[in-house]
Amino acid sequence: MSDATKKLGNAGENLAVNFLENHGYKILEKNFRIRASEIDIIAEKDNTIIFVEVKTRSNIRKGTPAEAVNLRKQKKIIEAASVFLQDEKYFDKACRFDVIEILSAGKDFKINYIENAFEVISEF
């Protein structure tokens, strides 16, 4: 990953955190990692734990940012979420998986928040 790509990704995650906080979400964790899986943001709102994947792009030549959250990526997020939820303080909470896609155009950013972007299905 190039420095420019990493910088863009970090900027996107910071924007996503600000967006969520401004909409009443409490941020519990950022960059929660287990083995080869990572969740960008774990938040809570209305007694629900929200696992948020943030995808930032400068263009859509390879598809929208949300399209990058493919089945393989979803499996990794679900794996990490299951570890996070094993903490006894979260056993009674609902959860969902959201995606925040961010498109940058220079210093301007467009945020698209997708609630319930994917679900755990029995194949996992």
pLDDT digits (tens, 9 = 90+) for 23-37: 999 999 999 999 889
User: Residue 122 above 80 pLDDT?
Assistant: no
d(CA 77, CA 9): 17
User: Residue 89 above 90 pLDDT?
Assistant: no
What are 42's strand-pairing partners?
29, 51
- Segment (H or E) for 82: helix 71-84
- Segment (H or E) for 48: strand 48-57
Write down the pLDDT at residue 78: 94
In the chain, the percentage of residues whose pLDDT exceeds 90 is 67
Q: Which of 16, 117, 12, 6 is nearest to 71 (CA)?
A: 117
pLDDT digits (tens, 9 = 90+) for 48-85: 999 999 999 988 888 899 999 999 999 999 999 999 99
d(CA 100, CA 73): 14
Amino acid identity, residue 73? K
Write down the pLDDT at residue 75: 93
Write down the pLDDT at residue 124: 45
pLDDT digits (tens, 9 = 90+) for 92-119: 889 999 999 999 887 788 999 999 999 8
Vertex 55 angle, CA 91 and 48, to 5°: 20
Local structure of 39: helix, strand or coil: strand
User: Residue 46 above 50 pLDDT?
Assistant: yes
User: Residue 123 above 60 pLDDT?
Assistant: no
Query: Cβ distance 58 to 9 under 8 Å?
Result: no
CA 84 to chain centre: 14
Write down the pLDDT at residue 18: 97
